[in-house]
Amino acid sequence: MEPKHSTILPGVRPRGRGALGNAVGRFEGTAREAFEDGWAPPEDRVLRTEVRLEVPRSALSFNRSPDLPFDRSINPYRGCEHGCIYCFARPSHAFLNLSPGLDFETRLIARPGIGAVLERELRAKSYAVQPVAIGTNTDPYQPIEAEYGVMREVLAVLAAFRHPVAITTKGTLIERDLDILTELAGQGLLRVGVSITTLDPGLSRRMEPRAAAPKRRLQVIERLSRAGVPVRVMVAPVVPGLTDHELEPILQSARDAGAVAASYIALRLPREVSALFQDWLVEHVPDRAAKVMARVRELHGGQDYDAAFGKRMFGEGIWAELLARRFKLAVARLGLAVKLPGLRCDLFAPPARAGDQLSLF
């Protein structure tokens, strides 16, 4: 997809960011182009993070995808400051009339108050409990969570209702919530997935610039595991021709840190992500750019991406089969589970509110 125009000023330094550009979102009817008018002070030459607040009308989002092991999720934030260049969620920012490029990682939406909305939805008589996933679109423990605490708000409600939850993150702020997490895990209501793409700190810093370093993520696995929280290492995404050789070392390191299960997902480049990722390849690994994209297209039937159910997560063809075989052999050798026991749904119970009539039994 060709970008319309850039919406950042010439000379602005996207320091510590993943995307190199900020093309206008695909739903916008007009194009915008930033230009130098001579008025911008030097301090405005650094691209800073902006956070806007949204009054949430709903907390739970439902899906019917056969590729996903859950049918509902919660998104405490829109956009993600981690800035992972490969993030498949980038195109969702276009629905906000923002760019999937730099806007996705610098113009963020926080949703304080979502806890009260979630509580209302969980109390509905029609609500049927099933595990809820958090972190499937953008990371609930991205850096701005330290200030806004929206994820903590959500967890407090889930714990009060004894609601099962699966969390995916690469953020270290999850350690702050060990008090709630250990309570949930002790009741069979929680599992956590920690995403690791590479063990190379230099590559990680370029590819996922504001996420925790690989070594630090392994420490998160260790600390959660030691506290009794079941942890799955998620080797995601596997970038063919760039990180695929690290599949076994990542699984080994995570197992040694305490992970009890593992999964992987091949690189996905939907919509605007393809152009953004290809620009990144040319800038950071020009000698491998052509090889990586050739292998990506082999995985997706000659295209940059195939969104078909059953194919989009793992790809198809010889390289997909080899990757699947390597993963199967590695988890068997390391004693890592692929599936974990289901989370408990039988403990779900809305807590009593002030003024509620108490049960006689």
The β-bridge relationship of strands 107-110 and 77-78 is antiparallel
How far from the centroid of its chain's Cα atoms is residue 199's Cα? Answer: 18
Other CB atoms within 10 Å distance of the CB of residue 273: 25
What local confidence, expressed as pLDDT, does residue 310 receive?
77
pLDDT digits (tens, 9 = 90+) for 38-47: 655 555 567 7
For residue 237, whether the previous peptide bond is cis, meaning omega lies within 30 degrees of 0, is yes
Say yes or no to pLDDT of 336 above 80: yes
Which comes out higher in pLDDT, residue 35 or 116? 116
What local confidence, expressed as pLDDT, does residue 306 receive?
85
- Residue-wise DSSP of 87-142: -TTGGGGGGGT--TTHHHHHEEEE-TTHHHHHHHHHH-TT-----EEESSSS-TTS
Q: How far apart are CA 254 and CA 247, in angstroms?
A: 11
What local confidence, expressed as pLDDT, does residue 1 receive?
39
Q: How far is CA 215 from CA 15, 29, 200, in A?
A: 22, 44, 9
- Residue-wise DSSP of 148-171: H-HHHHHHHHHHHHT--EEEEE--
Go through the domains of the chain in sequence order and give each one's CATH number. Answer: 48-334 (3.80.30.30)
Beta strand extents in the chain (DSSP E only):
50-53, 60-62, 72-74, 77-78, 107-110, 132-134, 165-169, 190-195, 231-238, 261-266
Angle, alpha carbons 80-81-85 (nearest 5°): 75
| pTM recorded for the entire structure | 0.90
**Residues 292, 285: contact at Cβ < 8 Å?**
yes
Token output for 158: 């889930």
pLDDT digits (tens, 9 = 90+) for 153-186: 999 999 999 999 999 999 999 999 999 999 999 9
pLDDT digits (tens, 9 = 90+) for 223-252: 999 999 999 999 999 999 999 999 999 999
**235, 223, 225: which is closest to 172 by C-alpha?**
223
- pLDDT band for 4, please (50, 70, 90 cuts): very low
What local confidence, expressed as pLDDT, does residue 355 receive?
63
Which comes out higher in pLDDT, residue 16 or 111? 111
Q: How far apart are CA 65 and CA 260, in angstroms?
A: 26
Within the chain, how many helices (H) and strands (E) appear?
Answer: 11, 10
Instruction: Give the chain's mean pLDDT.
Output: 90
**315, 233, 203, 234: which is closest to 268 by C-alpha?**
315
pLDDT digits (tens, 9 = 90+) for 279-334: 999 999 999 999 999 999 999 999 998 888 878 788 899 999 999 999 999 999 99
Q: How far apart are CA 119 and CA 132, in angstroms?
A: 13
% of the chain surpassing 90 pLDDT: 75
Of 26-35, 51-60, 114-123, 342-351, the range with the lowest mean pLDDT is 26-35
